[in-house]
Amino acid sequence: MIRALLASALLAIGAGLIVVSSLGLIRLPDVYNRMNAVAKAGSLGLICILLAVLLLLPGVRTAVVALVAIGLQLVSAPVGGYALARAAYRAGSPLADSTRYDELGGRVPPARRRAARE
């Protein structure tokens, strides 16, 4: 009974974090803020849902699958977010007006543009 209540709470928290992530994707001003919202809130939401599944279906196989998925999510989300932000910055995606500092300004060269083939 307690395990089901805890799993329900984790599912609700995970779903709520994913909803917040999707709202951030729609409402935030620039690509960098959007990626931050999706990477962090989406990852935490997925981890909460995986932990809820682990509570609802206890077992060694479920634990191994859930822990591997959590580990991969914790490793891949920050790396993917960093790579996308770097690509967006090099492609010249503008910063939001509320951004105060551009610490990479002048230090990161723009991406090489390929000549258009005709």
Q: What is the pLDDT of residues 5-26, one digit of tens each?
A: 999 999 999 999 999 999 988 9
CA distance 46 to 80: 16
- pLDDT tens, position by position, 52-62: 999 999 999 99
Q: Which helix (H) or strand (E) holds 19?
A: helix 2-27
| Spatial distance between the Cα atoms of 38 and 31, rounded to a whole number of angstroms | 11
Region for 66 from its dihedrals, namely left if φ exceeds 0, alpha if ψ lies in -120 to 50, beta otherwise: alpha
Share of the chain above pLDDT 90, in %: 46
d(CA 110, CA 49): 39
pTM surpassing 0.75? yes
